[in-house]
């Protein structure tokens, strides 16, 4: 099949033939990843397009600074309120539908923002601007939860962390572009129309690209065993399993809290540094360093974790470094004349914070499998998004400790970040359930290869395709599916009785029945 990768089946061992027949990768997975990344990047550009030129926007549309700030804060509010709806759309409607819907909402919001500039005498320009930003915020809820799902459904096990990383860093990349592009385009009020038009062009292009290029939510054949069992739990059942999963709860609260606080520092950087007498230009430089070094760190850490599978170690070490960077930033930001030290701490904060985020998202999926990736990642992002507007924003004045951002508030946030990191390091322990399910440690998975009648019905049902699809392999390879004594019996009769039954239930029964109480294998369906 076009786009298929893999070795020549004629030269493979029987076990390898098994994997090649059951799992395939397609070159168009990179197209899907590119489209999702572009939608996320465009959405982030629209998010903060007004913030760098807030004073000009407020003067041109006769708005208060609080109203202009809400054009950015509405993203956080909408993503939090509609987060569960976005999770349901991702895990129930499908990745293709969610991505296309997000792209159209993003484009519609970018167009609605132009109306006050195009229509002369608009009575309430703030309503159009807020309406457009709200539509874009709805799109963010669909896009920001999707990187882990794209990686799980389209990429093989050795590429998932890298795919997640590439999709995740597209969002801060869009923030960086907005912070550089908006001041360059807008010098006076009449330039706002040009800025809004420039941001609408990539939104429209990505909308068209997603509608044309995305043909299916999942590939014809799953790239891994974990992909075949993805979202094998219903939405509400999956949420219940997450709440009962001790390891997941610790990860969600501690990682969401720690990274949320570090993002708070970057989001409100200007207000923090203003109280110590630093200029807006220097604050912008620190913000750019935060994002740039974060992208570099993510590019380095993603491939490393793909090779080593050290999800837990990378997350714990990364969060400890984030905590140290937060504490250093909190101390240095309260002092005057420490420009070099501030730039260094902002760079380190971004380097550790952004780089560990996609790894922690993969870890959340590993410890919550087989709950859908949208639910596992979405709940963490909802907790993370709650933090940037918790402290509040207020005008600051001169002096090292004046204004809202005094000594106690900044140090308190850094202390909470250290507390979350310590709890995660001491109490978070989990097995990699998805990797264990894919490795086939049980005797039944080592000696039997499920054919299309056993492993692919659920995958075909999710694609909306018939089991008789001529593109699918109609019979398993004779070598890999040769029955052995250990593969017969109860394990051999675990095939679904109806085409729509989940393959995950087949694997679950094998793991539980044959692993035994003293086996080192920890079933991914047992919540510990």
For residues 348 and 396, membership in a common domain is answered with yes
The closest alpha carbon to 427, from 257, 192, 250, 241, belongs to: 250
Q: What pLDDT sits at residue 483?
A: 39
What confidence category does residue 108 fall into, taking pLDDT thresholds of 50, 70 and 90? very high
Instruction: Report H helices in 144-191.
Output: 147-154, 160-168, 170-185
pLDDT value, residue 41: 93
Task: For residue 526, tell me if it sits in a domain.
Answer: no
CB atoms within 10 A of CB 180: 13
Residue 40 belongs to a domain: yes
Give me the residues paired with residue 26 across strands: 4
Residue, of 238 and 100, whose pLDDT is higher: 100
pLDDT mean over 414-431: 88
User: In the predicted model, what is the mean pLDDT of the chain?
Assistant: 74
pLDDT of 196 reads: 93
**What is the model's pLDDT at position 329?**
85
State the Cα–Cα distance between residues 485 and 488, nearest whole angstrom. 5
Is the predicted pLDDT of residue 240 greater than 70, yes or no?
Answer: yes
* CATH number (domain holding residue 50): 1.20.1250.20
Q: How confident is the model at residue 378 (pLDDT cuts 50, 70, 90)?
A: confident
Using DSSP's 3-state secondary structure scheme, residue 26 falls into strand
pLDDT of res. 99:
93
What is the distance between the terminal CA atoms of the chain, rounded to a whole angstrom? Answer: 41
Q: Are residues 80 and 205 in the same domain?
A: yes
Interval 305-334 mean pLDDT = 88
Residue 358 structural domain: 232-440
pLDDT at 232: 55
Confidence (pLDDT) at 100: 94
The string of pLDDT tens digits covering residues 169-189 is 898 889 888 888 888 888 888
Taking 50 as the threshold, does the pLDDT of residue 421 lie above it? yes
Which neighbouring-strand residues pair with 4?
26
What share of the chain has pLDDT > 90, as a percent?
A: 16
Taking residues 294-321, what's their average pLDDT? 89
Structural domain count of the chain:
2
Sign of the dihedral defined by the CA atoms of residues 431, 437, 441, 444, in that order: positive
Instruction: Give the pair of three-digit tokens for residue 475.
Output: 């019979």
Going by pLDDT thresholds of 50, 70 and 90, the confidence category of residue 501 is very low
- pLDDT at position 124 over 70: yes
| pLDDT greater than 80 at residue 393 | no
Q: Which residues contact 396 (CB under 8 A, 6 or more apart)?
A: 271, 274, 275, 402, 403, 404, 405
Q: What is the pLDDT of residue 134?
A: 93
Q: Which residue has the higher pLDDT, 136 or 236?
A: 136
Is residue 512 situated within a structural domain? no
Query: Same domain for 273 and 398?
Result: yes
| Backbone dihedral angles phi then psi of residue 393, each to the nearest 5 degrees | -125, 130
Range 464-476 average pLDDT: 41
Q: Is the pLDDT of residue 453 over 50?
A: no
Residue 520 counted as domain residue: no
Residue 296 and residue 192 in one domain: no
Write a three-state SS string for 426-467: HHCCCCCHHHHHHHCCCHHHHHCCCCHHHHCHHHHHHHCCCC
Q: What is the pLDDT of residue 266?
A: 66
Least Cα distance to 203 among 295, 116, 102, 128 occurs for 102
State how far the Cα of 75 lies from the Cα of 385, in Å rounded to an integer. 9
The predicted structure's pLDDT at residue 387: 56
In this structure, the answer to whether residues 124 and 55 fall within a common structural domain is: yes
Query: Mean per-residue pLDDT for 193-219?
Result: 92
Residue 3 above 90 pLDDT?
A: no
Model confidence at 152, pLDDT cuts 50, 70, 90, reads confident
3-class state of residue 366 by DSSP: helix
One domain, residues 136 and 267: no
pLDDT of residue 360: 87
From residue 29, give the alpha-carbon distance in Å to each of 32, 111, 363.
5, 30, 22
3-state DSSP call for residue 201? helix
| Co-location of 305 and 180 in the same domain | no
The model's pLDDT over 22-45, given as tens digits with 9 standing for 90+, comes to 778 888 889 999 999 999 999 999
How many whole angstroms separate alpha carbon 511 and alpha carbon 522? Answer: 8
Rounded Cα distance between 60 and 47, Å, is 19
Higher pLDDT, 500 or 425: 425
Domain end position, chosen among 215, 249, 277: 215
Report yes or no on 434 lying in a domain: yes
At residue 145, does pLDDT exceed 60?
A: yes
User: 3-class DSSP state for residue 7?
Assistant: coil
205-210, long-range: CB < 8 A, 24+ apart? 206/35, 206/38, 206/39, 206/42, 206/103, 206/106, 206/107, 207/103, 207/104, 207/106, 207/107, 209/35, 209/38, 209/103, 210/35, 210/39, 210/99, 210/100, 210/103
Query: Which residue's structure tokens are 């002096």?
Result: 399
The average pLDDT across 472-498 equals: 39
In a domain, 125, yes or no: yes
Query: Considering 378, 412, 440, which residue would you say is the last residue of a domain?
Result: 440
Q: Are residues 206 and 251 in the same domain?
A: no
Residue 65 shares a structural domain with residue 193: yes
Kindly state whether residues 197 and 254 are assigned to the same domain.
no
Q: Which of 413, 440, 467 is the last residue of a domain?
A: 440
Of 124-133, 371-380, 443-452, the least confident: 443-452
Mean pLDDT, to the nearest integer, of 452-477?
45
pLDDT band at 481 (very low <50, low <70, confident <90, very high): very low
Residue 42, domain member (yes or no): yes
**pLDDT top residue among 408 and 189:** 189
Confidence of residue 436 (pLDDT cuts 50, 70, 90): confident
| pLDDT band (50, 70, 90) for residue 479 | very low
Residue 200: pLDDT band with limits 50, 70, 90? very high
- pLDDT exceeds cutoff 50 at 485: no
Q: Identify whether residues 381 and 310 lie together within a single domain.
A: yes
Instruction: Name the pLDDT band for 12 (thresholds 50, 70, 90).
Output: very low
70 and 167 in one domain?
yes
Residue 266, CB-side half-sphere exposure with 13 Å CA sphere: 33
pLDDT at 510 over 60: no
Backbone angles phi, psi at 4, to 5 degrees: -80, 140
Q: Is residue 480 part of a domain?
A: no
CA 39 to chain centre: 13
């Amino acid at each position: 099949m076009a786009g298929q990768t893999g070795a020549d089946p004629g030269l493979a061992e029987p076990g390898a033939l098994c994997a090649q027949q059951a799992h395939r990768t397609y070159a168009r997975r990179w197209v899907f990843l590119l489209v999702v990344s572009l939608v996320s990047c465009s959405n982030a550009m629209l998010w903060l397009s007004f913030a760098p030129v807030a004073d000009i926007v407020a003067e041109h549309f006769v708005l208060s600074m609080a109203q202009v700030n809400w054009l950015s804060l509405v993203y956080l509010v909408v993503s939090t309120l509609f987060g569960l709806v976005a999770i349901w759309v991702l895990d129930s409607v499908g990745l293709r539908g969610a991505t296309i819907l997000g792209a159209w909402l993003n484009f519609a919001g970018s167009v609605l923002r132009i109306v006050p500039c195009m229509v002369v005498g608009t009575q309430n320009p703030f309503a159009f601007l807020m309406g457009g930003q709200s539509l874009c915020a709805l799109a963010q809820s669909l896009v920001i939860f999707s990187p882990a799902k794209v990686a799980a459904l389209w990429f093989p096990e050795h590429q998932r962390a890298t795919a997640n990383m590439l999709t995740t860093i597209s969002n801060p990349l869009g923030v960086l572009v907005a912070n550089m592009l908006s001041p360059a385009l807008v010098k006076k009020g009449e330039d706002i129309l040009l800025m809004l038009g420039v941001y609408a062009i990539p939104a429209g292009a990505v909308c068209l690209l997603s509608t044309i290029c995305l043909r299916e939510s999942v590939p014809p054949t799953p790239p891994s065993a974990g992909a075949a069992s993805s979202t094998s739990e219903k939405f509400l059942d999956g949420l219940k399993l997450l709440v009962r999963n001790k390891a997941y709860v610790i990860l969600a609260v501690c990682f969401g809290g720690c990274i949320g606080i570090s993002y708070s520092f970057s989001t409100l950087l200007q207000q923090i540094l203003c109280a110590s007498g630093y200029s807006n230009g220097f604050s912008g430089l620190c913000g750019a360093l935060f994002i740039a070094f974060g992208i570099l760190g993510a590019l380095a850490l993603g491939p490393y974790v793909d090779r080593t599978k050290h999800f837990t170690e990378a997350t714990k070490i990364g969060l400890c470094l984030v905590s140290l960077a937060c504490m250093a930033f909190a101390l240095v930001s309260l002092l005057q004349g420490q420009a070099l030290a501030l730039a260094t701490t902002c760079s380190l904060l971004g380097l550790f914070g952004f780089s560990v985020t996609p790894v922690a998202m993969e870890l959340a999926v590993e410890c919550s499998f087989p709950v859908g990736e949208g639910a596992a990642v979405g709940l963490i992002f909802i907790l993370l998004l709650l933090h940037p507007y918790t402290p509040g924003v207020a005008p600051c004045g001169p002096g090292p400790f004046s204004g809202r951002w005094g000594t106690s508030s900044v140090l308190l946030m850094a202390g909470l970040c250290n507390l979350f990191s310590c709890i995660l390091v001491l109490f978070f322990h989990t097995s990699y359930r998805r990797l264990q399910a894919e490795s086939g440690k049980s005797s039944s998975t080592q000696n039997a290869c499920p054919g299309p009648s056993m492993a692919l019905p659920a995958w075909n049902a999710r694609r909306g395709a018939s089991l008789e699809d001529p593109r699918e392999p109609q019979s398993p390879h004779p070598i890999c599916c040769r029955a052995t004594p250990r593969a017969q019996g109860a394990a051999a009769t675990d095939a679904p009785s109806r085409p729509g039954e989940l393959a995950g239930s087949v694997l679950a029964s094998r793991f539980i029945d044959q692993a035994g109480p003293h086996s080192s294998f920890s079933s991914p369906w047992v919540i510990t």
